[in-house]
Amino acid sequence: MHERDYASHSSGFLRTLLSILGLIFVVVMLSWGLRTFVFQAYEIPSGSMEETIMPGDMVFSEKITYYGSSPAPGDIVTFEDPDPLSSGRILIKRVIAVGGQTVDLRDGRVYVDDVLQDEPYTRGEPSYALTPMAGIDISYPYTVPEGRIWVMGDNRTNSQDSRFFGAVRESSVTGRAIFIYWPLSNLGPL
């Protein structure tokens, strides 16, 4: 190979390599930006949200909604587990009440501000009080502190939720679950 052909070949290879590395960098940064600021995918590990979301379902949780507003009753939210021993674990539950509202559990039914809640997603399962985790004091009726939300799993007989760990800080919410994308048999909006 002539000296000029070798130099031309080397610079072409270097340009191609730099182009590929640049493309990889752009893809990684775009992926990181979307995951950090727009949406996150989660696999559901437990049955606490059955029949709405089943164990093994994969859901998208979007983050944009809560940049300009707060979680509202009925929203299905993802949030950081408030148990300090479960650092980094993300949970998914339904918002039942927000700061300033009062939650009461009477005869297995949920009342918010003395209004019986219509909760067809629980399939009629009772909503009884749970023994709170150590260091948490919950007595009913319970007024949710400002800046916090009261969350419960749809599968009330198989869910450790605010009845167990208390009201959750709004700042710990990582997004609003909006869509099941896997398995295809469960595909659809939430």
What residues contact 37, with CB distance under 8 A and at least 6 apart? 63, 64
State pLDDT tens for residues 136-190. 999 999 999 999 999 999 999 999 999 999 999 999 999 999 999 999 999 999 9
pLDDT-above-90 percentage for the chain: 68
Per-residue pLDDT at 5: 58
Per-residue pLDDT at 37: 73
The pTM score is 0.84
Examine the pLDDT at 3 and tell me if it is beyond 60: no
Q: What length is written for the chain? A: 190
State pLDDT tens for residues 79-112. 999 988 887 889 999 999 999 999 999 999 999 9
Report, as residue numbers or ranges, the catalytic residues: 48, 93
Beta bridge pairs of residue 180: 59, 188
Q: Residue range 119-133: average pLDDT?
A: 92
What residues contact 87, with CB distance under 8 A and at least 6 apart? 81
Q: Residue range 64-75: average pLDDT?
A: 93
